[in-house]
Chains A and B, each alone.
Chain A
Amino acid sequence: MNGRSNNRREITLRTREALYGYGFILLWIVGFALFMAAPLVQTLNYSFNQVTVTASGINLEFSEWANYSRALFTDPNFIELLIGYTVETLVSVPIVLIFAMIIALFLNVKFRLKGLFRIIFFLPIVITSGPVIKELTAQGAASAPGIANIPAVVEFLATLPPALRSPVQYLLTSFILILWFSGVQILIYLSSLQKIDRSIYEAAAIDGASSWEIFWKIVLPSLSTATVVNAVYTVVTLSHFSENKVIRYIYDQTYDVHGGIGYASAMAFLYFGLMVILLALVYFFLMKWASRGTR
């Protein structure tokens, strides 16, 4: 008798807790439905239609996979842009990760003027935006100074097989631009570094480990989670960046007489699909590396 009423009390308490929980996230659920789920479904719907905008509203004319096949098989630019995006992302991610890790390692040791350098290294967090990056690229501040124009380098590039040429060329022309995308990643690495217990370093040093060994055996494995988070963050930031060529192309096609909303929607979904594939690729590659590191 007593047990049963306790049980009931337990259930109502649980329900009460759940209700409060839903209460706290209610605004978000409404927002998700209105500003994410509904527009996403609508865009998917557009992508299977020929969309024309008139003064009174929009007309949909069902066209099956026409928009998708046009993007993949007819449009000469889109596939080219997607390949460029894939190459650029796969080249940029490791550079951002390694660079952010090096800076975080620097900022984790004590040295004079550390405060000053820290202020400089976190500048990208504040000023990396579309218009500013555009200006920087226009000034030529994005490439490793002058390297891409040296005759020997041009000749060397010409000898490379085409599949290898574009990544190397991108690397040379945009190296510094890539570095501008590593602000938040440095923060995340730094936070992981600061969580490593100092006494582990001391113990390792007493056992005779060199700092080289300490880095590979202690520091790197404990940065594996942060690396996965950073990789995902980097891919998403690069893919959403407003000066990204694919995004610009999709945006231009939306208002183009020959493009239209339906066609742009189909390209948006193809681009999203490719982005998810890249994310999955990077994620599983790093997870494999991380699980090997901790073993």
Chain B
Amino acid sequence: MSFLHHPFADYLRSVLLGNRARRGLVYSIVLYALLIAIGFVYLQPLLFMFITSIKSASDLLNPMVQWVPTELFLGNYEKALRVLDYPNTLLTSILISVIPSLLQTVVCSLVGYGLARYRFRGKTLVFLLLLSTFIIPPQNTVIPQMLMYRDLGLLGNPLALILPALLGQGYKSAIFVLIFYQGFLSLPKVLEESARLDGASDIRIFFSIAVPSALPAYIVSFIFSIVWYWNETFLTVIFLEGGVTTLPMQLSKFTQAYENMYPPGTVNIFDRLNEAVKMSGTFLNILPLLVLYFILQRWFVESVEMTGITGE
């Protein structure tokens, strides 16, 4: 009993368990252990993917080599680059995700502004319809859309993705409308009124007051939109198959493309399709997104503060 109140015991307790001013050692160890465990969950597949991709054929066969390859072997990447037709498919993927994203961001900002700053009948209905576009699964609308594009001769044409984005029906558009709605709602009415007294038109007010104030919302929407378009494969395959080929589309027929280039019967055993080449292909597929993420990571992790998304 007396030991528990000894000054040293108090000191020990504050170091291990913490006190009001600082965290204890036990708390810190538990915190970092959990953080590392969770971080490992996300990093392990990526590490595995990368390490497998630089293994040579002999490393792949050697059961002793798990996490540390004996050499840095880039031959898999050479093959994967050729099989993926990388320069072409990469450029296509960039265009297919950037152009619709740009249009989608602009149009969603108009819609968000209209909903936030003007009073009109039927606004509740518009919000309900907006939510329904978020909830309705793509397969409930995709077949008539595809047949319509077929009649118009637009199947395989990038316009099949651009047109919906231009009309505010791009991928996950409801989320972007809501982001802009939130952003414009918090814009002080005073600014708008004083501009109106100075004789500014509604369109002028939108461009010179609203747009600059919502710049972070524009950037965040644009970035998220690019990522979601890039990762979207269901609609892209249906609308673009037979026309342009994006990177994920080419990845999904990797085996077939590889065997066309290196026919299984004719090449020696080291040129057969193996795990390492497949992993190189997968890694090349997510590499552009990883680069984008590391350059713009501030915009991802701070998007919340920047746009003031409240989730309400």
Q: Which residues of B contact A131 (CB under 8 A)?
A: 233, 248, 251-252, 282, 285
When the two chains form their complex, are residues A25 and B126 in contact, meaning their CB atoms are under 8 A apart? Answer: yes
Least CB separation from A240: chain B residue: B137
A18 within 8 A of B: yes
B265 within 8 A of A: no
Shortest A260–chain B CB gap in Å is 11
When the two chains form their complex, are residues B140 and A40 in contact, meaning their CB atoms are under 8 A apart? Answer: yes
Cross-chain pairs A/B with CB under 8 angstroms, 25 sampled: A21-B114, A24-B113, A27-B107, A28-B168, A32-B169, A34-B167, A34-B169, A36-B129, A43-B141, A103-B38, A106-B31, A106-B34, A121-B42, A122-B293, A126-B289, A131-B252, A132-B282, A136-B45, A139-B45, A139-B48, A188-B304, A229-B312, A236-B135, A261-B143, A271-B139
When the two chains form their complex, are residues A188 and B107 in contact, meaning their CB atoms are under 8 A apart? Answer: no
Q: Which residues of A contact B120 (CB under 8 A)?
A: 17-18, 21-22
Q: Which residues of A contact B114 (CB under 8 A)?
A: 20-25
B300 within 8 A of A: yes
A121 and B39 alpha carbons, distance in the complex (Å): 7
A180 and B309 alpha carbons, distance in the complex (Å): 22
Shortest A126–chain B CB gap in Å is 5
Q: Which residues of A contact B49 (CB under 8 A)?
A: 135, 139
Within A195-234, the residues touching B (CB, 8 Å) are: 195, 205, 225-226, 229-230
A192 within 8 A of B: yes
When the two chains form their complex, are residues B137 and A268 in contact, meaning their CB atoms are under 8 A apart? Answer: yes
When the two chains form their complex, are residues A36 and B300 in contact, meaning their CB atoms are under 8 A apart? Answer: no
Q: Which residues of A contact B39 (CB under 8 A)?
A: 117, 120-121
When the two chains form their complex, are residues B167 and A27 in contact, meaning their CB atoms are under 8 A apart? Answer: yes
A176 and B132 alpha carbons, distance in the complex (Å): 30
Summarize B's interface: helix, strand, loop or mixed.
helix
Shortest B70–chain A CB gap in Å is 21
A250 and B139 alpha carbons, distance in the complex (Å): 8
Within B69-126, the residues touching A (CB, 8 Å) are: 107, 110-111, 113-115, 117-121, 123, 126
- New A-B contacts (7) at CB < 8 Å, excluding given A18-B120, A123-B42: A18-B119, A117-B39, A120-B39, A126-B290, A129-B230, A139-B49, A264-B139
- Decide: A129 near B139, CB < 8 A? Known: A141-B44, A176-B41, A205-B20: no
B195 within 8 A of A: no
Category for how many chain B residues contact A: 35 or more
Q: Mark B274-312, 1 if CB is under 8 A from A, else 0.
A: 000011001001100110111001001101110001111
B138 within 8 A of A: yes
When the two chains form their complex, are residues A119 and B301 in contact, meaning their CB atoms are under 8 A apart? Answer: yes
A118 within 8 A of B: yes
Which of A74-82, A151-159, A272-280 contacts its partner?
A272-280
Q: Mark A112-150, 1 if CB is under 8 A from B, else 0.
A: 000001111111111111111001100101000000000
Shortest A218–chain B CB gap in Å is 17
Category for how many chain A residues contact B: 35 or more
Shortest B56–chain A CB gap in Å is 19
Least CB separation from A230: chain B residue: B311
Shortest A17–chain B CB gap in Å is 5
When the two chains form their complex, are residues A141 and B48 in contact, meaning their CB atoms are under 8 A apart? Answer: yes
A58 within 8 A of B: yes
When the two chains form their complex, are residues B301 and A275 in contact, meaning their CB atoms are under 8 A apart? Answer: no
B187 within 8 A of A: no
Q: Mark B208-228, 1 if CB is under 8 A from A, else 0.
A: 000000000000000010010
Q: Which residues of A contact B11 (CB under 8 A)?
A: none
A46 and B278 alpha carbons, distance in the complex (Å): 40
A60 and B310 alpha carbons, distance in the complex (Å): 47
Q: Mark B136-177, 1 if CB is under 8 A from A, else 0.
A: 111111111101100000000000000110111100000001
A191 within 8 A of B: yes
When the two chains form their complex, are residues A127 and B113 in contact, meaning their CB atoms are under 8 A apart? Answer: no
Summarize A's interface: helix, strand, loop or mixed.
helix
When the two chains form their complex, are residues B119 and A14 in contact, meaning their CB atoms are under 8 A apart? Answer: yes
- Decide: A128 near B231, CB < 8 A? Known: A24-B110, A27-B167: yes
Q: Which residues of A contact B42 (CB under 8 A)?
A: 120-121, 123-124, 179-180
A187 within 8 A of B: yes
- Decide: A27 near B133, CB < 8 A? Known: A126-B292, A229-B311: no
A42 within 8 A of B: yes
- Decide: A42 near B144, CB < 8 A? Known: A25-B126, A31-B164, A126-B290: yes
A173 within 8 A of B: no
Could you say which of A32, A123, A191, A254 contacts B129, with CB atoms under 8 Å apart?
A: A32
Could you say which of B28, B35, B41, B139 contacts A251, with CB atoms under 8 Å apart?
A: B139
- Decide: A242 near B234, CB < 8 A? Known: A39-B141, A126-B227: yes
When the two chains form their complex, are residues B45 and A21 in contact, meaning their CB atoms are under 8 A apart? Answer: no
Select the residue from B111, B117, B285, B304 with max chain A CB neighbours within 10 A. Answer: B304
When the two chains form their complex, are residues A129 and B293 in contact, meaning their CB atoms are under 8 A apart? Answer: no
Least CB separation from B281: chain A residue: A135
B198 within 8 A of A: no
Q: Which residues of B contact A170 (CB under 8 A)?
A: none
Shortest A98–chain B CB gap in Å is 12
- Decide: A236 near B168, CB < 8 A? Known: A20-B202, A187-B304, A251-B139: no
Q: Which residues of B contact A32 (CB under 8 A)?
A: 129, 133, 167-169
Q: Mark B246-269, 1 if CB is under 8 A from A, else 0.
A: 001001100000000000000000
